[in-house]
Amino acid sequence: MRDMWAQKGQKGTVILSCSDPRVIPEQFMGLGPERPAAIIRNAGGRAMDAIRTLQVLNTITPLDLIIVVHHTDCGTTHVPDNEVRERIKQISSLPAEAIDAMDFGEIKDLEASILEDVAMIKDDPTYGGNAPAVVGLLYEIETGKLSQVE
């Protein structure tokens, strides 16, 4: 991964990661003054929730590298969308049909979800044909191992 960083530089780098407090990209990615990056964190580290932020960041500083990180033992692998929908129905005033139409980004297969999010970011038409490099990584909570998913 050091080669990936060197090839793309440091300016315009974003890491998309889960909001799980056990996942701290600043630590396992070795970020700091020599290796700066913006961090976007959301449930599951899903691209569907990060696209708007990536679009805005790209207008401020053109992005040259986006790193998507999903991790083992993620809550989105344990709580499926249908369960989230039922919980929301219990507390929300929205019609059940509206809630049933919502997608919350459950993860059934970690590697498949990483590839899906990488593709979603690469296919975003707002880059105008100048899409940044997008890399998918799997972070193993149990061991601290970080591996590229291709």
Binding residues for Zn(2+): 18, 20, 71, 74
Alpha-carbon gap, residue 102 to 66, rounded angstroms: 26
Q: In sequence order, what are the residues at sequence separation of 6 or more whose Cβ sits closer than 8 angstroms to the Cβ of residue 120?
A: 47, 48, 51
Binding-site positions: 18, 20, 71, 74
Contact indicator for 103, 114 with CB cutoff of 8 Å: no
Contact indicator for 43, 112 with CB cutoff of 8 Å: no
**3-class DSSP assignment, residue 76:** helix
Alpha-carbon gap, residue 123 to 62, rounded angstroms: 16
